[in-house]
Amino acid sequence: MCLPPVRPALRPERLTPGAWARLPEPPRSGRPRLWLARVEDLSGAVAPLADALLDSGERARAAALHRAADRDGYRVAHVCLRLLLGAYLGVAPSDVPLVRRPCPVCRAPHGRPDVPGVLLCFSVSRTAGLCLLAFADTAVGADIERLPGPDVVAALTTVLHPREADELTACPPERRPAAFARVWTRKEAYLKGLGTGLGRDLRSDHLGASPHGPRRVPGWAVDDVAVGAGCAAAVAVAV
């Protein structure tokens, strides 16, 4: 039996202190611009900027996090987002007007994040020690996750599309956490791009567990993102 060709994972640009000082290359049509931030590399540079750049809601959400590592990760993700948006849009980072679109499922204001009146879309995801930021000229969603433990895989496999659950069950146990992380990040990136997040039934869409790449989704380009050992990541862009 012939296997499908391996679709190479996209490689993000490493975000370093001062990277936003130079004008970043804008995303090309149908191709996202990806940035990977390591919290330990950026927390020191970000800390003195947070109070000036984050709005009151962002500062409150950061302060409400109990663990220092989580607060650092939140600040790195959101300060870097504002710095990059400011560079892309040519405005002061603190002046970027971030809003939430209405959710397509319930119409409440917790849909895809947005800057009103511009043609730049973006998505932010973070996991322990890492943040992934994606920018595109159409709707985009990104997700990054650490590989889960076997107990998490067992508990959540049943909430996935039936074919995905079958694919995971067929995996050898030692490969199952990586396969689950591929499914989960592909699915969450796609759902974030739609704007529904996890409000959409996870059984509705078959993104697949194959290491050869995600399944095709009409109207979307979904790709894995190379973020190093111990993690999985994906991005979805409307085409």
Cβ atoms of 100 and 110 closer than 8 Å = yes
β strands within the chain, DSSP E: 13-15, 33-38, 99-100, 113-114, 121-127, 130-136, 140-146, 220-224, 231-238
- The pLDDT value recorded for residue 233 is 98
Give the whole-angstrom CA distance, residue 111 versus residue 224: 23
Contact indicator for 234, 214 with CB cutoff of 8 Å: yes
Q: pLDDT in tens for each of the 239 residues of the chain?
A: 444 556 789 999 999 887 767 767 777 777 899 999 999 999 999 999 999 999 898 999 999 999 999 999 999 999 999 999 998 898 999 999 888 888 877 877 777 788 988 889 999 999 999 999 999 999 999 999 999 999 999 999 999 999 999 999 999 999 999 999 999 999 999 999 999 888 899 999 999 999 999 999 999 999 999 999 999 999 999 99
How far apart are alpha carbons 67 and 233 in whole angstroms? 23
- Give the per-residue pLDDT at 6: 60
Would you state the pLDDT for residue 3?
46
* C-alpha span between 214 and 49 (Å, rounded): 38
Who contacts 159 (Cβ-Cβ below 8 Å, separation ≥6)?
202, 203
How far is CA 36 from each of CA 118, 154, 203, rounded to the nearest angstrom? 23, 29, 29
Closest CA to 96 of 113, 110, 109: 113
Short-list 234, 184, 239, CA closest to 12: 234
Using a cut of 0.75, tell me whether the model's pTM lies above it: yes
CA 180 remoteness from chain centre = 16
d(CA 29, CA 84): 18
3-state secondary structure 18-43: CHHHCCCCCCCCCCCEEEEEEHHHHH
CB neighbours of residue 12 within 10 Å: 22
Length of the chain: 239
| β 140-146/99-100 pair status | unpaired
| Nearest residue to 222 (alpha-carbon basis) of 230, 231, 210 | 210
What is the model's pLDDT at position 178?
97
Residue 87 has which token pair? 């560079």
